[in-house]
A and B are shown apart, each in its own frame.
Chain A
Amino acid sequence: MSSLASSTVLLRARSSVSALYGFSLVALALAFTHPLVLLAVAAATFGAARLSGCQQQLRGAVRFAIPLALMLAVINALLVRDGVTVLWRFGELPLFGQVDVTGEAFVYGLLLALRVVVIIAASALLVAIVDPDDVLRRMRRSAFRSALTAALATRMIGVLTRDARRMDQARRCRPDGGGSGRRAQLLMVGSVAAGALDRAVDVAATLELRGYATRVAPPRGDSLPYSRADRAVLASALGLLALLVVGVASGLAHFEPYPRITIVTGLTELLYGGLIVLTALAAPIIGERGRRR
């Protein structure tokens, strides 16, 4: 992420603003199950990721989300007995009792799966566009201990990943390949965990040596004015939040899975989905155009 830090509007915006933008997409996905709205949020998320150069992070997150989402869809179809359209009758099954798969449970399961994928993708976008260093700087003033923990955790992820990779290579260099089975795995995990403590102490020592604990406040009035990127992303984020509030308050995009699937899909819903996409992509598109001019 950081290598792209100065290249696109979403990544150039200050962390508080880009966090609000990412959070509003996550909130929209959490608030609605209507397929049209979910597809709109998905389009907005992937579009924003593409315009910010973060597609790779999103692809990784979606790869992780899909098996989880499919599992959720299958479980919903097998366990939920609501719905009137029976697709398959499995009869009496041990533990499950009478299992009938209904069309409504099947479709709702798929929609839940879609929602999980969209939420995880939007969360991945949030992580990708927010500069953790900037978050730490800002948190440091208001929540020192949380910021210290976050600083350690952020840094330790990379350090421990590399440690584990190196230790795995060292294990493979042993004449016996480091052994196999549960005991060998436990030894390895124990060793990485013991190393993690040492590493955390070292990183914490460095934070001390760089004066992190001194908490000297910066001079007053030293904050940067809102840049063009900040303003553009803030406008998009506030627009998305407004759409969220209006949608929830007005009962827009109504969806009822049981006993029969009721999906209200009219011009209003189409317009609402379109507005989500346009509002979300306005900042990256208009911001970039303004920059090129």
Chain B
Amino acid sequence: MSALIFDRFAYTYPGRSEPALRDVSLSIEPGEFVVCTGLSASGKSTLLRAASGLVPHFHGGTAGGRVIVGGLDTRDHGPGDLAQVAGTLLQDPETQVVMQTVGAELAFPLENRGLSRAAVARGVEEIALTLSIAELLERPVDQLSGGELQRVALGAALAARPSLVLLDEPTSQLDPVAGDELVWTLRRLNEEWGTAVLLVEHRLERCLAHADRVVVLSAGEVVCDAPPSEMLGWAAEHQPALQTPAARLFERAGLRPPPSGVKEARATLQSHGLLEPAAAAAAAPPERKRPRWPRRAEPAPPSALSCRGLIFELPDGREVLSNLDLSLLPGERTALMGRNGAGKSTLLRILAGLEPPTEGAVEGEGRVALLLQNPGDYLIHERVDGEVAADLLADYGLEEVAASHPRDISGGQRQRLALAIVLSGSRPSAVLLDEPTRGMDRAAKGDLIARLNALSAAGTAVLVATHDTELAAAMAQRVVLLSGGRIVADAPTAEVLSGGWHFATETARVLGGQGQACTPEEGGALLRARMTIEATP
């Protein structure tokens, strides 16, 4: 019996004329690991909600065709019944927990199944150990970070050991380390428990290597359903925005077939003799880089925004920022990276004047604009054109949705609108952005990068707190790495993102940091140069 079957399923949300899903047919077998991807608003989340029974039972609307989950037809069984066979994790972890403590949250789905107290206790213990959240069991959920909440919500979805797990961008709030851990955990559950996985994800580079199949949606239709390497070949021709960085690296180097992960890419490059042996690469002297700071004789340029001796303590005395110094030059583009809870968002809020530091000072001339994590928080009017002036709407490509309610526009449009709001008025001396690419596809990311580059060219300092190494590599000149409220690395982007494993781009991981290449373009150029040398007699 298949874990999940979509049979010519179509669905239209209430009040909409365009269907969100059209004639979708696909099946997932027990033990399969399937990734579902597509550009924004392609119907991925709706597909997941249909598999969990929320569509149409919870959302209403018009549905046609059938969805069968673990033998239960969603026309006859609602989300409560389907929860017996499928665990679901939706996008926003904040609304994915319903109890007061982590232990109660994990016990909740087991109690709802009518399990005995002993079975519930054992289930909670097992899932807590599996997801490494045993130390959180007694903690109130409102004291957890976004990443911790995500793991707890995943735990609640998996606690009853469902035969099918449905996940909607579970890594979107996680730092690279936690994101990798989560995907590996899913793989382990998939291999050891035989759990079928349907994972909706934008950042394909995180999960493609683990996938058996990739389903691509476009305008509510399945346009590709194939193994990862075949899908990447299809994407190169039909939807280049879905290519992974490693696939783009291979495309730029003229290599085929596109690799589904780092291991496969390295194996191919080694077979072509394009990778230096690890020892040689390690022994190679680092390239001399242009010094970031001017020499002593030159006067130091005035910074657009700086802080000195910054300390921030929570009411319980826990130190979030610890004696932190940072200076941003006018026009400089900097990425602020670090694990969940490292203090990135706190630093941005203090720099923008939203929170006073416990100690230390922030100095800067001119306005500091801050775009917080959730762009929806900026939208308070009934219509999009109530938020900013018409000329700005046109500038940000939003004139088509001017009459819409801000909550009805897509995530990418909301992000642009929020950016337009914070950048309206006089040009800021510094722009700070907190995780701006969460849930964003690559096309929308490209648009954001172009806007940040334009701001930087006009002399505005740009500081982006992000977990997205690909964004940092494409946008930033400098990367500041925070850990435990302290700066542990502050160097040019190539130096930071090519030298590590977790805080490294996929290109850098494929090339093992050689040539300090971080983007597919840089890596492609490096490989082509090597091919040319090898081809020269």
Interface residues of A (CB under 8 A from B): 1-3, 5-6, 131-133, 136-137, 151, 154-155, 158-159, 162-163, 166-167, 169-176, 178, 187-188, 190-191, 194-195, 198-199, 202-214, 216-219, 222-224
Contact = CB atoms under 8 A, between A and B. Distances in A.
Interface stretch (B35-43, B81-89, B230-238, B504-512): B81-89
B109 interface: yes
B54 A174 contact: no
Contacts of B139: 2-3
Among all A-B residue pairs, the 9 with the closest Cβ atoms? A216-B114, A175-B425, A202-B95, A211-B83, A213-B80, A211-B112, A170-B377, A191-B380, A133-B104
Given A170-B378, A173-B371, A191-B380, A210 B108 contact: yes
Interface string B90-130: 10101111111100100011011111110000000000000
B7 to A, nearest CB: 22
Given A209-B79, A214-B84, A173 B112 contact: no
Contacts of A1: 100, 140
A194 B90 contact: no
B100 A2 contact: yes
B83 A133 contact: no
A218 B111 contact: yes
A264 B57 CA distance: 65
Contacts of B270: none
B424 interface: yes
B80 A3 contact: no
Contacts of B75: none
Interface of B: 52-54, 57-58, 78-81, 83-84, 88, 90, 92, 94-101, 104, 108-109, 111-117, 138-143, 156-157, 160, 349, 352, 354, 367, 369-372, 374, 376-381, 407, 418, 421-422, 424-426
Contact of B114 (A154, A171, A218): A218
B116 A169 contact: no
B345 to A, nearest CB: 10
A73 to B, nearest CB: 33
Contact of A173 (B88, B157, B372): B372
A241 to B, nearest CB: 28
Nearest to A176: B425
A218 B110 CA distance: 10
Contacts of A136: 99
B100 A210 contact: no
Contacts of A198: 407
Nearest to A187: B380
A187 B381 contact: yes
User: Which has the most chain A C-beta neighbours within 10 Å: B81, B104, B139, B370?
Assistant: B104
Contact of B380 (A173, A188, A204): A188
Given A169-B377, A175-B426, 7 more contacts: A1-B100, A170-B377, A178-B380, A205-B58, A214-B80, A223-B117, A224-B117
Contacts of B379: 191
Given A169-B349, A219-B116, A208 B426 contact: no
B109 A2 contact: no
Contact of A171 (B95, B111, B380): B380
A133 B111 CA distance: 12
Given A173-B378, A216-B112, A206 B80 contact: no
Contact of A170 (B95, B101, B104, B372): B372
B380 A133 contact: no
Given A195-B376, A209-B52, A172 B112 contact: no
B401 to A, nearest CB: 17
A205 B54 contact: yes
Contacts of B421: 174
Contacts of A163: 377
A154 B142 CA distance: 12
Contacts of B109: 210-211
B428 to A, nearest CB: 8
